[in-house]
A and B are shown apart, each in its own frame.
Chain A
Amino acid sequence: MIDWAERAFGSLHQWVFEGIVLPAAGGLGLSGYAEHLFDGTELFLIGVLQLALLLALVRPLEAWRPVERWADRHAVRADVVYTLLNRLGLVPLVVFFALRPAVDGLDGWLRMHGFVPPNLEDWFPWLRAHPLAAFLVYLAVLDLAEYWRHRLQHRLGWWWQLHALHHSQRQMSLWTDDRNHFLDDLIARGWFAVVALAIGVPPAHFVAALVVTQLVESLSHANVRLSFGRIGERLLVSPRFHRMHHAIGAGHEGPARGCNFAQLFPVWDVLFGTARFDAAYHPTGIRDQLAGRDYGEGVIRQQWLGLKRLFGLDRGSRPAPRAA
């Protein structure tokens, strides 16, 4: 079954690449970049499959057991746009070209000074012969790094001004995961890339880690009453667990400026004292929205307001909310 699915995907990948992408690249004089285009085509197709999976599995869950029923889904539209831009590769492409010279430059500079970044396998050679175990170890390390990145997004005032856009959705749904300020995306992916460089994440793992994380995150943002049970809630981030992170009055306040920061594994929240396993499903958003603060409804206005908040130009702009 695995073999069949992989072959089917491989055939689709080849067909799209050789039938559409490569001829188009030839017309533009870009066929010399075939390897990059080949990888880009794979990411695009993975995005398409992800979207199909979300529509086939997660959307019906939202319809079946919604936390909130909305007469008007207007506010969700911007999140759909963010999701398409991200999952179909446009945002990652721009970010890649923005980050690649810096990351490769750093890597090259280190090597010119005699330092070759190590791999986890250098410390644990056993992992070389066990791809699945290696993948899980890399995934756990990356997820730990993502946990701390997320803590900083809430802790540092300037970063919160960007990240607040993500939390300003009061109709949270499966589309909300990619609702981010583009600068926030750039910083987050730069963080991910540097950590990946430091621990030597294999390219295939990089893609696999991204896909697994994105799928779990889409599910965890879904507007669905779904808990993974007493044990499951502690193993994998569920929609109920993550909803608490977005809850008005809980998700961005208190000594840690929030709770339930984990993206995949709640164990980080348990270890660092930020886990809340309440059974309730709270409304989502930011407290100052109740007082009328505007975070924008369309993508362009949201981005613009994010920049204004970042530079303190937004009237009523203030640092991350403190304890209630």
Chain B
Amino acid sequence: MPLRLLRALAAVALAAAVPAHATLAIVLNSGDESLSIVDTATFREVARRPVGKEPHHLMKTPDDRYLIVANAASNELVFLDPATGNEVRRLANISDPYQIGFSPDQKWFVSASNRLDRIDVYDAKDFRLVKRFPAPKVPSHIAFDQASRFAFVTLQESDEVVAIDLAAMEIAWKMKTGRQPAGIWMTPDDRHLLVGITGDKFVEVIDWRERRLAKKLLTGQGAHNFMPLGDGRHVLLSNRVANTVSVIDQQTLEVKESFPVPGGPDDMEVSRDGRQLWVTSRWARQVVVVDLGSKRIIATIPVGKSPHGIFLKDHAPRR
């Protein structure tokens, strides 16, 4: 709405240079075409910058040099300096990049085109399009096996997981899931895929080699997205409707606990020391910071509309 545009303009005027030594969080305001830069020491938004249309997700390049923001509606990737959030370059002609991911061998860059039912595989070296797969309906999140043989993508509106054989560059198989699978995560032992069933309240544990459902983990309504705790054992899951985050033990494949996080918790980050959880509240225009020891909310930081992806400069290991 017009107010939002005026707000964005005002934010540009306010945007101050962020000192490189500051610890920062970068939040993608998917409904505002902007990103927020938050000082993690003061829990305050220090800048808001236009970034592009529908920025949903972001990730570091495998060499850790850049942070890539995927602008779904502007068909481009924006490369940021992860230390400052400053733009380094833009890469056009990346069709509708919603979720993105590099294969572990760093050979492939996979982009799920959520709106247009496509999964695109690019050469990770030069982002040259290698293959475009029709993938109805609504491809969403991406995971890989450790050998980088397969990319697994949830199909949110056809209730499936699709496996793309990256060696043969063909669709290997599809498997039915519960209603509206979204987040997908490979356990460290490379044996199971965890799938957040957003249309329901559980995680499906899939033995992907056998292509069978091994187990269901009851978490909370709107089971949505994963982020590892960083200890190599636990992974966090946001339950977007229940307004909780669940802790899943990846060895025992059990839910250890769930704790409240308000406002539609979506994407998450864990601080390097493992003490803080940063969560975007999709419905509330805010980021919530939770003390992982006490599970209490220690900060609520106003940001832009429909905050989605989040990145901490000093984040925990992705394991």
**Which residues, 173 to 224 on B, are CB-close (under 8 Å) to A?**
179-180, 198-200, 221-222
Of B3, B132, B134, the residue contacting A6 (CB under 8 A) is B3
**Chain B contact residues: helix, strand, loop or mixed:** loop
Of B10, B52, B132, the residue contacting A128 (CB under 8 A) is B52
In the complex, which of the residues A112, A200, A203, A205 has the most CB atoms of chain B within 10 Å of its own CB atom?
A203
A121 within 8 A of B: yes
**Chain A contact residues: helix, strand, loop or mixed:** helix
Chain A proximity of B195: nearest CB distance (Å) = 13
Q: Beyond the given A9-B3, A116-B95, could you list 16 further A-B residue pairs with CB under 8 A, ordered by the A residue number?
A: A2-B7, A7-B302, A14-B283, A34-B198, A104-B116, A107-B116, A108-B134, A117-B75, A129-B50, A130-B9, A130-B12, A131-B9, A131-B12, A200-B74, A202-B53, A203-B31
Q: How large is the interface on A (under 10, 10 to 19, 20 to 34, 35 or more residues)?
A: 35 or more
Interface flags for A48-61 (1: CB within 8 Å of B; 0: not) read 00000000000000
> Chain A interface (Cβ within 8 Å of chain B)?
2-3, 5-7, 9-10, 13-14, 17-18, 22, 26, 29, 31-35, 38, 46, 104, 107-108, 111-112, 116-117, 119, 121-122, 128-132, 135, 200, 202-205, 207-208, 211-212
A144→B1 CA distance, assembly (Å): 20
Q: How large is the interface on B (under 10, 10 to 19, 20 to 34, 35 or more residues)?
A: 35 or more
Of A7, A13, A46, A132, the residue contacting B6 (CB under 8 A) is A132
A116→B10 CA distance, assembly (Å): 32
B96 within 8 A of A: yes
Question: Which residues of the partner chain B approach A29 to less than 8 Å between Cβ atoms?
Answer: 179, 199
Question: Which residues of the partner chain B approach A13 to less than 8 Å between Cβ atoms?
Answer: 283
Question: Which residues of the partner chain A approach B115 to less than 8 Å between Cβ atoms?
Answer: 104, 107
Q: Are A203 and B73 in contact (CB under 8 A)?
A: yes
Q: Are A34 and B240 in contact (CB under 8 A)?
A: yes
A38→B8 CA distance, assembly (Å): 21
> Chain B interface (Cβ within 8 Å of chain A)?
1-10, 12, 31-33, 50, 52-54, 73-75, 92-93, 95-96, 113, 115-118, 132, 134, 156, 179-180, 198-200, 221-222, 240-241, 263-264, 282-285, 302, 305-306
Residue ID in chain A nearest B302 by CB atoms: A7
Residue ID in chain A nearest B116 by CB atoms: A108
Beyond A38-B282, A111-B95, A208-B1, whether A202 also contacts B33 by CB under 8 A is yes
Q: Are A131 and B116 in contact (CB under 8 A)?
A: no
A210→B306 CA distance, assembly (Å): 20
Of A2, A7, A33, A112, the residue contacting B132 (CB under 8 A) is A112
A117→B72 CA distance, assembly (Å): 12
A122→B71 CA distance, assembly (Å): 13
Of A5, A32, A131, the residue contacting B5 (CB under 8 A) is A131
A104→B302 CA distance, assembly (Å): 33
Residue ID in chain A nearest B94 by CB atoms: A116
Q: Are B179 and A32 in contact (CB under 8 A)?
A: yes
A52→B306 CA distance, assembly (Å): 25
Residue ID in chain B nearest A109 by CB atoms: B116
Q: Are A38 and B6 in contact (CB under 8 A)?
A: no
A211→B3 CA distance, assembly (Å): 11
Chain B proximity of A212: nearest CB distance (Å) = 6
Q: Are B10 and A26 in contact (CB under 8 A)?
A: no
